[in-house]
Amino acid sequence: MAACAEAPELVYLVTGGCGFLGEHVVRMLLEQEPRLRELRVFDLRLSPWLEELKTGPVQVTAIQGDVTQAHEVAAAVSGAHVVIHTAGVVDVFGRVSPETIYKVNVQGTQNVIEACVQMGTRFLVHTSSMEVVGPNIKGQPFHRGDEDTPYEAVHKHPYPQSKAQAERLVLEANGREVRGGLTLVTCALRPTGIYGEGHQIMRDFYRQGLRLGGRLFRAVPASVEHGRVYVGNVAWMHVLVARELEQRAALMGGQVYFCYDQSPYKSYEDFNMEFLGPCGLRLVGTRPLLPHWLLVLLTALNTLLQWLLRPLVLYAPLLNPYTLAMANTTFTVSTNKAQRHFGYKPLFSWEVSRARTILWLQGKEGSAQ
């Protein structure tokens, strides 16, 4: 990937480039990667904002395609120097069938790997997830752990299962010979819960709070820490990894990195209030208003309703046994591996991340829809 200082010559492909994270990766690459000649944005559904990017100095090529279709992936990868694979189905609510989650997240990732091998593309950055590690089904806390902290990773839900399988495939592919005889260099980034401009669930909580007269009701104890990371910093980590993979292939190849920044350690709800509070919402209760057993019962009821209504309508509320367990189990990271391996420092301070997210929620700024 030797690049000459004057003429930009690199071709990047971002799968899932129209998603929440993907859009930030695409914009970050255009801002921060001077060696870029062409940026291919591959997604099942192309977004209208791509059009405005096509007028800049970098050639932006929009490719409507499906990662489950090997030939479409291979065509998109052909001639690319780097692939950033963010495409995936993110579903912990039962909106998408386990079969589809597997097909997109696991088979789709395998297709991306095979396309790199066939086409001679050497550098693959994969968006994994904290859920590859946990929280596990036993609800054991992972308190400010790092990439080497021992933890019993046991999954039952299709989404974390698929992310764990996909990550394994990517890491095992590191070192494979690609067309032309050189080797594939891969690594995986594991964001915790991402927030920022374009975060749909945050917006859903905002709207729900407005419907409830400006109030939200505490459901999980304030003492349970839930890891969060700003989308701009996650995108920045992807850009940096992609840039450094060639020079530091021996160190970074086959590695995993948690995505982290200076976002504070808080419970899921208290963290959301950092943004929803300034937008006029209030979190009622210093302790959960309902006893835990009642919440568990409600989640079981939601599961039953989802099953009963399935033939008629898709009932997929935010609260189910899995999401309650996620919100109710401490899972936070504290690491400097990305800084040690490739010099990562967050691009956005906590204050800036917070301000940008609030402005977006208030509809005053931000590109993400």
Ligand X SMILES: NC(=O)c1ccc[n+]([C@@H]2O[C@H](COP(=O)([O-])OP(=O)(O)OC[C@H]3O[C@@H](n4cnc5c(N)ncnc54)[C@H](O)[C@@H]3O)[C@@H](O)[C@H]2O)c1
Ligand Y SMILES: CC(C)CCC[C@@H](C)[C@H]1CC[C@H]2[C@@H]3[C@H](O)C=C4C[C@@H](O)CC[C@]4(C)[C@H]3CC[C@]12C
- Residues that bind ligand Y in the complex, under the rule CB under 6 A: 90, 92, 129-131, 193, 201, 219-220, 268-269, 318-319, 323-324, 326-327
Among 43, 197, 269, 274, binds ligand X (CB under 6 A): 43
Which of the stretches 85-93, 147-155, 292-300, 332-340 binds ligand X when contact is defined by CB under 6 A? Answer: 85-93
For ligand X, which residue has the nearest CB? 19
Closest CA relative to residue 11, chosen from 33, 39, 34, 31: 39
Among 191, 253, 254, 346, binds ligand X (CB under 6 A): 191
Which one of ligand X, ligand Y, none is in contact with 318 (Cβ closer than 5 to 8 A by kind)?
Answer: ligand Y
Residue 109 contacts ligand X per CB under 6 A:
no
Around Cβ 364, how many Cβ atoms within 10 Å? 8
CB 202 within 8 A of CB 281: no
Taking the complex as a whole, the smallest distance from the CB of residue 227 to ligand Y amounts, in Å, to 7
Among 12, 20, 123, 344, binds ligand X (CB under 6 A): 20
Residue 89 contacts ligand X per CB under 6 A:
yes
For ligand Y, which residue has the nearest CB? 193
Around Cβ 154, how many Cβ atoms within 10 Å? 12
Q: What is the greatest pairwise CA distance in the chain?
A: 64
Which of the stretches 190-198, 277-285, 335-343, 357-365 binds ligand X when contact is defined by CB under 6 A? Answer: 190-198
CB 101 within 8 A of CB 162: yes
Which one of ligand X, ligand Y, none is in contact with 87 (Cβ closer than 5 to 8 A by kind)?
Answer: ligand X
Which one of ligand Y, ligand X, none is in contact with 220 (Cβ closer than 5 to 8 A by kind)?
Answer: ligand Y
Taking the complex as a whole, the smallest distance from the CB of residue 121 to ligand X amounts, in Å, to 17
Which one of ligand Y, ligand X, none is in contact with 22 (Cβ closer than 5 to 8 A by kind)?
Answer: ligand X
Which of the stretches 48-56, 188-196, 292-300, 329-337 binds ligand X when contact is defined by CB under 6 A? Answer: 188-196
| Amino acid making up residue 368 | A
Q: How many residues does the chain have?
A: 369
Query: Looking at 159, 195, 260, 344, which residue is catalytic?
Result: 159
Residue 159 a catalytic site member: yes
Can you read off the two tokens belonging to residue 175?
């070192």
Taking the complex as a whole, the smallest distance from the CB of residue 148 to ligand X amounts, in Å, to 20
Phi, psi (degrees; rounded to nearest 5) at 241: -60, -45
Residues designated catalytic? 159
Contacting positions for ligand X (CB under 6 A): 16, 18-22, 43-45, 66-68, 86-90, 104, 108, 127, 129, 163, 191, 193-194
